[in-house]
Chain A
Amino acid sequence: MPAIDLFTAIFISVMGAGTPLVLAATGELVAERAGVLNLGVEGMMLVGAAVAFAATAETGSAAIGVVAGMAAGMMLSLIFGFLALTCLANQVATGLALTIFGVGASASIGSGYTGNALSVGAQFKIPFLSEIPFFGELLFSLEPLTYLSLLVAAVVWYFLMRSRSGLVMRAVGDAPGSAHATGFPVIAIRYCAVLFGGAMAGIAGAYLSVFYTPVWVENMTAGRGWIAIALVVFATWQIPRMLVGAFLFGGVTILQFHIQSANLGITTQFLSMLPYAATIVVLIIISSDAVRVRLHTPAALAKPFSADD
């Protein structure tokens, strides 16, 4: 294979591997910017994946599958919102409960489909543009959801950093008391952020089960929800850094496959550890600068807020 084609192939696969991380991490980043730590990303992704797979298998339409996955993610995030925002429950415990629930629920939903494969349609290509030599294939023949993930990340960046509503949302995450006193509905805004996080996690799960590896396997997200949460810390709650991190991790995942196929005699299990080990390494590097992390962390992260107190 000519070097240039290999480069294109690697680029496309890295973008594909990074897509679910971009989606899930963008959603979590918004929730955390609004002061809500939702550790249920893994659970929401799994249920999104299971529901999307089931919906696609039953209707034959991947689009319906993705929408169903998104709706499922939002349903789960609504449970989280009710407990953490309305009932003022501990956000860490609620998030863990959501993940445990999601693991069980997704396995139950998917139990009739275990090992089934979806017949995905022809590879998506943007007409005309993708026919441009090199750049055409490089930039215009990715999965539709990859474009969506980048679009969402860009819109979220603009919303958070350049729009008035985004400023309000950040205020809710940094100083909910002041935001409340100014007359903003803190709880309602936090609900919106949590629902957005659920929607993104649901789509991320749908991407995995419908496009990336269109076979239903229990626990198929394999910790990507947790890696997405780690990415938000790594990115110090900033979208551009999160994008870099997500595709870096996509690269690690792809690297693992390439080493495996190159048959260098390294055991599969050790290669599979790479993304998890990389997460720990990245956390160490970022977190050791404690001041920097503290400066960027939304000040009211994971603290319940009640307007009545």
Chain B
Amino acid sequence: MFVKFERRARPSRLMVLGAPVAAAVLTVIGGSILFTALGHDPLLAFHSFFIAPVSDLYGLGELCLKATPLLLCATGLAIGFRANVWNIGAEGQLIAGAICGGGLGLYMGPASGVLLLPAMLIAGTFGGMAWAGLAAFLRVRFNANEILVTLMLTYIAGLFLSYLVYGPWRSPTGFNWPESSDLSDAARMPQLLAGTRLNLGIVIAVAIALGAWMLLARSYLAYSMEVGGLAPKAARYAGFSQQRMIWLGLLAGGATAGLAGVIEVAGTIGKLREVVSPGYGFAAIIVSYIGRLHPVGIILASFMMALFYIGGEQVKVTLGLPSAITGVFQGMLLFFLLMSDLLITYQPRWTGRWRPSGRTP
């Protein structure tokens, strides 16, 4: 190879911020190549994937709507990821939040007052925390790997929701569709903007992300968690409790994912149904990485990821491509980010001649 990678004396701050941008650009290029390979005009495909969906007010509203759960989940997950706590079951915690919050909304009749919605949001948050807390308990008490446990709990949560909407919570007037009755108006998120489906959720999500920023930048707790993630031994010598880190890392992700779940149900969907999320919990993992585990970065990244979701739906309509292509884009984005991250700790040096890579002279 003509290029050799050498370790930098210190990580490049420029590349820390440059890598996500590079990854986004490479994904767009890679996506255009993919569209061309599938026999579509790349410019047309690019337009219908990235530009057409957000060229009117309604589209922008949809963008915020999709960004809400991504932003919420990613904010909580990032707190755990900073401490090397691998909660990859935010999808399951989101479902748990949807069940708890949505269930409360279903059981309280339409007569209930203005306190219903806040109560639902709290119930959803606690539902997500309980589901993540189970994984934290098993990790702390039995040393069970949280990656596998949170993932298995995701499948279980999905099946439980399916049981509810096929069984006890199925709407009696719903023509046997696997969904619950509609939530009453008191149990719905207030709408923000006429002409769109935008609701209060995005405001809550941004507020929580900014609140998390304050917490991360200022608090001793967050500091100890970050040390735990970067240098576990140093954290142990400093007396930071690893168990507390695991609990906090998982509960933070569970809380925001649960909140995201109930906001989806009380906002966009308006009832419980078999599928309440097209994988927001998994996509949020990518969002928090693209956002560099930093709340401000995560806000930007969640809008980008939301665009991928809307773009996927758009190309399904205009080009007849499967909307699952969104997942391909998500994967590519993270691939390119991980690749670009090499440049944070390594710098390329042009050797000017061909030499088999991987060997030092």
How many whole Å from B49's CB to the nearest CB in chain A?
A: 14
Supposing A39-B147, A308-B6 touch, asked if A93 and B359 sit within 8 A by C-beta, the answer is no
Contact residues, B264-307 vs A (CB, 8 A)? 279, 282-283, 285-286, 289
Q: Is B159 a contact partner of A273 (Cβ separation < 8 A)?
A: yes
Q: Is A101 a contact partner of B328 (Cβ separation < 8 A)?
A: yes
Q: Is residue B55 contacting chain A, with contact meaning CB distance below 8 A?
A: no
Stretch at the interface among A155-163, A166-174, A226-234, A257-265: A226-234
Contact check: which of B143, B156, B162, B332 meets A293 at CB < 8 Å?
B143
Q: Is A108 a contact partner of B331 (Cβ separation < 8 A)?
A: no
Chain B residues positioned under 8 Å from A223 (CB to CB): 151-152, 155
A105–B38 alpha-carbon span in the complex (Å) = 13
Chain A residues positioned under 8 Å from B46 (CB to CB): none
Contact check: which of A43, A102, A108, A276 meets B155 at CB < 8 Å?
A276
Chain B residues positioned under 8 Å from A9 (CB to CB): none
Supposing A88-B342, A105-B328 touch, asked if A290 and B143 sit within 8 A by C-beta, the answer is yes
Q: Is B159 a contact partner of A272 (Cβ separation < 8 A)?
A: yes
Contact with B along A33-74 (1 / 0, CB 8 A): 000000100010000000000000000000000000000000
Supposing A92-B86, A100-B334, A101-B331 touch, asked if A279 and B152 sit within 8 A by C-beta, the answer is yes
Contact with A along B153-168 (1 / 0, CB 8 A): 1011001101100110
Q: Is residue A148 contacting chain B, with contact meaning CB distance below 8 A?
A: no
Contact with A along B322-343 (1 / 0, CB 8 A): 1011111111101100110110
How many whole Å from A37's CB to the nearest CB in chain B?
A: 10
Contact check: which of A39, A101, A273 meets B327 at CB < 8 Å?
A101
Contact residues, A121-142 vs B (CB, 8 A)? none
A82–B338 alpha-carbon span in the complex (Å) = 10
Chain A residues positioned under 8 Å from B163 (CB to CB): 267, 269-270
Q: Is A97 a contact partner of B331 (Cβ separation < 8 A)?
A: yes
Stretch at the interface among A14-22, A195-203, A236-244, A281-289: A281-289
A92–B145 alpha-carbon span in the complex (Å) = 13
Q: Is B285 a contact partner of A96 (Cβ separation < 8 A)?
A: yes
Supposing A284-B142, A307-B359, A308-B360 touch, asked if A79 and B152 sit within 8 A by C-beta, the answer is no
A226–B89 alpha-carbon span in the complex (Å) = 12
Specify the chain B residue showing the minimal Cβ separation from A82.
B339
Q: Is residue B148 contacting chain A, with contact meaning CB distance below 8 A?
A: yes
Q: Is residue A151 contacting chain B, with contact meaning CB distance below 8 A?
A: no
Chain B residues positioned under 8 Å from A30 (CB to CB): none
A187–B359 alpha-carbon span in the complex (Å) = 11
How many whole Å from A218's CB to the nearest CB in chain B?
A: 7
Q: Is residue A120 contacting chain B, with contact meaning CB distance below 8 A?
A: no
Chain B residues positioned under 8 Å from A105 (CB to CB): 327-328, 331
Q: Is B335 a contact partner of A287 (Cβ separation < 8 A)?
A: no
Q: Is B335 a contact partner of A97 (Cβ separation < 8 A)?
A: yes
Q: Is A100 a contact partner of B338 (Cβ separation < 8 A)?
A: no
Q: Is B88 a contact partner of A96 (Cβ separation < 8 A)?
A: yes
Q: Is residue B7 contacting chain A, with contact meaning CB distance below 8 A?
A: yes
Chain B residues positioned under 8 Å from A208 (CB to CB): none
Contact check: which of B141, B282, B286, B327 meets A107 at CB < 8 Å?
B327
Specify which of A89, A94, A309 lies most central, judged by the most chain B CB atoms within 10 Å of its CB.
A89
Q: Is residue A83 contacting chain B, with contact meaning CB distance below 8 A?
A: yes
Q: Is residue B358 contacting chain A, with contact meaning CB distance below 8 A?
A: yes
Q: Is residue B149 contacting chain A, with contact meaning CB distance below 8 A?
A: yes
Q: Is A307 a contact partner of B338 (Cβ separation < 8 A)?
A: no
Chain A residues positioned under 8 Å from B324 (CB to CB): 103-104, 107-108, 111, 218
Specify the chain B residue showing the minimal Cβ separation from A104.
B327
17 A-B contacts (beta carbon < 8 Å): A82-B339, A88-B345, A89-B341, A89-B342, A103-B324, A104-B329, A105-B331, A223-B151, A276-B153, A277-B156, A280-B138, A283-B138, A283-B148, A283-B149, A284-B142, A288-B141, A308-B7
Interchain residue pairs A-B with the least CB separation, the first 7: A104-B327, A101-B331, A107-B324, A111-B322, A97-B334, A89-B338, A269-B163
Beyond A43-B331, A104-B330, A287-B144, 17 additional pairs, beta carbon < 8 A: A83-B338, A88-B345, A92-B86, A96-B282, A100-B283, A100-B327, A101-B332, A101-B334, A101-B335, A104-B326, A111-B322, A230-B152, A269-B160, A269-B163, A276-B152, A277-B152, A283-B148
